[in-house]
Structure 1
Amino acid sequence: SLTDLPVNILSIAIMMKLGLAPLHFWMPEVLQGISLTTGMILSTWQKIAPMTLLIQISHLININLTIALGITSILIGGWGGIGQTQLRKIMAFSSIGHLGWIIIILKFDPQLSLFNFILYLIMTTAVFLSLTSISAVKMLDISTSWAKTPALTSTLMLIMLSLAGLPPLTGFAPKLLIILELIKQNATALATMIMLISLLALFFYLRLTYLITLTLPPNTPNSLIVWRTTHPSYLLTAMINTMAIILLPMTPN
């Protein structure tokens, strides 16, 4: 029909704004070049408007376009993050992968896509706030953060596993619901494919988790520790982190 071309062009433009693969090339480089706080805004707040537009025109979008870009994003998001040592680039590829899950279900169930997007915002905000609190921009930084902030570092580990989609954490809910919806829509092959591809992302999340928790204790920390220092309380970080970990029981039926 006459609306197909304009809608497809608009969809692709919005998806480029979101940073979906293969239109993602700007995102890792931009995120690497800015501070953690600005990176958090770019990865969360800046995506609300284009995602809102995309959900509003979801009934017009070509389903083949969403599936193709969704699969590509999940693949690139996992593949690109494996070799990275910079945490901001890892979060950029993590964002690309999560947006792939959101887009792939958009045509089937826009409400589920919105639910997934909200949880993505919560989990990504939690990671960036935690990284900001411990001033970590490289993998080396989080491997030595245990001695300084053990509670926050442990929480960060759980958030990473939540981003990976492991039960019983918050991040398991959207993946479970998306897989169930795809199976309900007789797209079992697609569901199987994205589950297998998402194992790539699971690898680098587990790699980060390993660095956070298993490499430093019980070794002598390499960082200079100043004892009896007062640490500021991060109430917002604590609240967001809690939501990023334990929201699974609130999953809608």
Structure 2
Amino acid sequence: MLFIFNSNKMFFLFILFFSTLISISSNSWFGCWIGLEINLLSFIPLISNSNNMLSSEASLKYFLIQSIASINFLFSILLKMIFLKNFDFNNIISIMINSSLLMKMGSVPFHFWFPNIMEGMSWFNNFILMTWQKITPMILLSYYFNKNFIIIIIMLNSIIGAIGGLNQTSLRKLMTFSSINNLSWMLMSIMISENLWIFYLFIYTFIISMMCFFFHMLNLFYINQLFFFNMNYILKIFFFMNFLSLGGLPPFIGFFPKWIVINFLLMNNYFFLTFILIMMSLILLFFYIRITYSSFMFNYMKLKWMNFFFKNNFLYLINFLSFFSLMGMIISTLIFM
């Protein structure tokens, strides 16, 4: 098994899943708010761990931030009901609703809680926070977004996500800023089409799940640990493919949804926005390639005697999927040509 849970955690995961369904299937803003609250209260027990002070601190911080965002969201929808026929307040109310949902998903400029909370959690909880916890706020955002405001947020997410990851030594913080950068692409894709957003989220979840599983298996938390361990080079190559795919390097599968978004932006004359997104992705690729290159080239004589032998067949399956993602991108490129 990927991660082992007791029955209590399985119950909270079940509630977490259904809270998202409650929010996205609700026909009123109040119903959406209730789903968000259930989601918050079901995720807190998954984070908290009485044996780990960092987890307890992370759960408290997460509760406070999400509560503030929920209060802002509830206040905004009440204002919307009061000023329903007053169009002068529509822009302000839409920005307030958008801001509370952006805070929920850890978007810039409300992202300062995100790296600290990620640092205090296990890889499985990080995986949930980077993927599943973004679904509800993003779908609610697609119902009522302020286009100009969201375009500014997309550019800020792209810039902060790329620059923030440059000087990080912690893998969890690196993945956090990578998630913030990918959030800009997801916001752009959900403005284009919900089908494109689902496709992007699926590819992103696929890559992140493989990386989080690998980090969990080897108990890796810092970049220098990637340089130390001595393992099968084939496994290592397949694993670092995920880094390059996450950065959006062609011909890996992570480039495919970005390619579709870029095509749409260019067809609609968003040249400056396209330029920002591509340049920031290049910065991401710079430090991903730097990590990959260093991991293969650094040679520690004192670790020559130490080798890792894996008996977990699931790890080989994950690495096969990494290779398959490369082949899938090449095939899809040939089809679209």
Give yes or no for TM over 0.5. Answer: yes
- Rate the CA distance shift 1:245–1:21 in 2: closer, same or farther, 3 A: farther
Q: How far is 1:244 from its partner?
A: 5.0
1:4 to 91, 95, 99: 91
Report the counterpart of residue 62 of structure 1 in structure 2. Answer: 146
- Rate the CA distance shift 1:168–1:148 in 2: closer, same or farther, 3 A: same
Q: How far is 1:240 from its partner?
A: 5.4
Greater helix content? 2
8 Å contact kept, 1:134–1:149: no
Report the counterpart of residue 48 of structure 1 in structure 2. Answer: 135
Report the counterpart of residue 106 of structure 1 in structure 2. Answer: 190
- Rate the CA distance shift 1:132–1:149 in 2: closer, same or farther, 3 A: farther
Q: What is the rounded CA distance, in whole Å, between the counterparts of 1:77 and 1:137 in structure 2? A: 19
1:222 to 296, 303, 309: 303
- Number of aligned residues: 246
Q: What is the rounded CA distance, in whole Å, between the counterparts of 1:22 and 1:124 in structure 2? A: 23
Question: Normalising by the residue count of structure 1, what TM-score does the alignment of the two structures yield?
Answer: 0.86
SS at match of 1:202: helix
Report the counterpart of residue 268 of structure 2 in structure 1. Answer: 185
Mapped pair 1:85 → 2:169: yes
8 Å contact kept, 2:157–2:180: yes
Q: CA RMSD for the aligned pairs?
A: 2.4
Deviations 1:162-184 (A, max 9, x none): 01111110111122111110011
SS at match of 2:129: helix
- Rate the CA distance shift 1:230–1:241 in 2: closer, same or farther, 3 A: closer
1:172 to 255, 262, 270: 255
Q: How far is 1:194 from its partner?
A: 1.8
- Rate the CA distance shift 1:51–1:246 in 2: closer, same or farther, 3 A: farther
- Name stretches of at least 5 consecutive residues in structure 1 with no aligned partner: none
Deviations 1:172-208 (A, max 9, x none): 1122111110011111222122212222212211122
The structure with the larger Rg is 2
- Name stretches of at least 5 consecutive residues in structure 2 with no aligned partner: 1-86
Report the counterpart of residue 148 of structure 1 in structure 2. Answer: 231
Which contiguous aligned blocks of 4+ residues in structure 1 show a shift greater than 4 angstroms? Answer: 242-246, 250-253
8 Å contact kept, 1:75–1:200: no
State the percentage of identical aligned residues. Answer: 29
Q: What is the rounded CA distance, in whole Å, between the counterparts of 2:304 and 2:111 in structure 1? A: 36
Q: How far is 1:238 from its partner?
A: 4.1
1:233 to 300, 313, 322: 313
- Rate the CA distance shift 1:28–1:3 in 2: closer, same or farther, 3 A: same
SS at match of 1:83: coil
Q: How far is 1:137 from its partner?
A: 0.7
SS at match of 1:234: helix
User: Which one scores higher on RCO, CA 8 angstroms, separation ≥ 6?
Assistant: 1
- Rate the CA distance shift 1:180–1:211 in 2: closer, same or farther, 3 A: same
